[in-house]
């Protein structure tokens, strides 16, 4: 059996943090504001995987009201989501995502992000799609206020 899930996340820029995307620190003048490390890609991937399972969203499992998640690496959220996926008898077939921002340039970091995410997700980096785009200066991402990510997940039952 195959199931598909969709995830979305967005965070605004902050001067008080580092920019972490897919577990990779990207040099930039701003980070993202959030309770954890605000890893917008990892959050969207968690939501896509949870959606494929028919479960709640990332806030259901890792609420920002819980102090134990303060500053936590979002890769740990992905690890826990993968554990839940396996408990339910599923594994990832593939993931695809689009990172939306005007700056910084994401393309030079995509391969590194895939190599960091692959072992956490338990799949080949070739099963992870990551693209980056701008909105031609439209909307909050276009005005340089933050970053958004759209993600889809295809999961299948474990044989």
> Which pLDDT score, from 0 to 100, does residue 8 have?
98
Cβ(50)–Cβ(32) below 8 Å: no
Show the domains of the chain with their CATH numbers: 2-157 (3.30.1330.50)
> Which pLDDT score, from 0 to 100, does residue 63 have?
84
Provide the token pair at 79: 């690890």
> Which pLDDT score, from 0 to 100, does residue 118 have?
98
Sheet holding 90-100, edge to edge: 31-32, 2-14, 146-157, 90-100, 128-133
How far, CA to CA in Å, does 105 sit from each of 27, 100, 109? 10, 10, 8
pTM of the entire structure? Answer: 0.96
> Which pLDDT score, from 0 to 100, does residue 66 have?
87
Cβ(74)–Cβ(36) below 8 Å: yes
Q: How far apart are CA 68 and CA 158, in angstroms?
A: 32
Q: How far apart are CA 59 and CA 57, in angstroms?
A: 5
Give per-residue pLDDT as tens, 124-153.
Answer: 999 999 999 999 999 999 999 999 999 999
How far, CA to CA in Å, does 127 sit from each of 41, 74, 77, 114? 15, 20, 19, 9
> Which pLDDT score, from 0 to 100, does residue 71 have?
84
Instruction: Give every residue of the chain whose pLDDT is below 70, as ranges.
Output: none
> Which pLDDT score, from 0 to 100, does residue 67 have?
85
Q: Which helix (H) or strand (E) holds 4?
A: strand 2-14
């Amino acid at each position: 059996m195959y199931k598909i899930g969709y995830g979305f996340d967005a965070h605004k820029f902050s001067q008080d943090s580092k920019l972490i995307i897919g577990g990779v620190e990207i040099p930039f003048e701003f980070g993202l504001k959030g309770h954890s490390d605000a890893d917008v890609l990892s959050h969207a991937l968690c939501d896509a995987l949870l959606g494929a399972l028919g479960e709640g969203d990332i806030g259901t499992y890792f609420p920002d009201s819980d102090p134990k998640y303060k500053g936590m690496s979002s890769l740990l959220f992905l690890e826990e989501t993968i554990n839940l996926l396996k408990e339910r008898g599923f594994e990832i077939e593939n993931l695809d995502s689009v990172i939306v921002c005007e700056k910084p340039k994401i393309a030079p970091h995509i391969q590194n992000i895939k190599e960091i995410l692959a072992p956490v997700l338990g799949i080949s980096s070739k099963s992870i799609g990551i693209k980056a785009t701008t909105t031609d200066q439209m909307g909050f991402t276009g005005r340089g206020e933050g970053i958004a990510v759209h993600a889809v997940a295809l999961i299948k039952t474990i044989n």
